[in-house]
Amino acid sequence: MEMNDPKNQPLHTVKIRAGRRSYFFDVRATKAENDFYVVITENKKMEGKISRSKIFVYKEDFKNFLESFNQSVSFAENKLKELGVTYSNRSQDQEHHD
């Protein structure tokens, strides 16, 4: 399948720019096009090169993945509060593509 093939393109994309990192949340269809999954990609610029990491989350894992992610973020936020560390979210630099 070619990269320009519409079947290879995400159905929905959210891009978040975060300093030297960019995150992409892509909803894609399976080859049979009757099922969907999410690909989370982190692009990181390091020493002039781009490092790319991907996580594939399939429909049967959506709920558990989201619950575990939210629990982990809440835990980290609570630990930061306990330590007196303040932080703020970056200004929201998101792009949505459908």
**Secondary structure of the chain in HEC code, one letter for each residue:** CCCCCHHHCCCEEEEEEECCEEEEEEEEECCCCCCEEEEEEEEEEECCEEEEEEEEEEHHHHHHHHHHHHHHHHHHHHHHHHCCCCCCCCCCCEEEEC
4 pLDDT above the threshold of 70: no
- The pLDDT, as a whole number, for residue 1 is 44
- List, for residues 36-73, the tens digit of each pLDDT value: 999 999 999 988 899 999 999 999 999 999 999 999 99
Domain boundaries, the chain: 8-85
pLDDT of residue 39: 98
Residues forming beta bridges with residue 52, ordered by sequence position: 43
Q: Are 8 and 2 within 8 A, CB to CB?
A: yes
Phi, psi of 48, deg, nearest 5? 80, 0
pTM to 2 decimals? 0.78
Categorize the per-residue pLDDT at 2 as very low, low, confident or very high, splitting at 50, 70 and 90. very low
Q: Which residues on adjacent β-strands are paired with residue 26?
A: 13, 39
For the stretch 6-24, pLDDT in tens is 667 899 999 999 889 999 9
Least confident of 29-33, 52-56, 59-63, 80-84: 29-33
CATH of range 8-85; options 3.10.450.700, 3.30.540.10, 3.30.365.10, 3.40.50.2000: 3.10.450.700
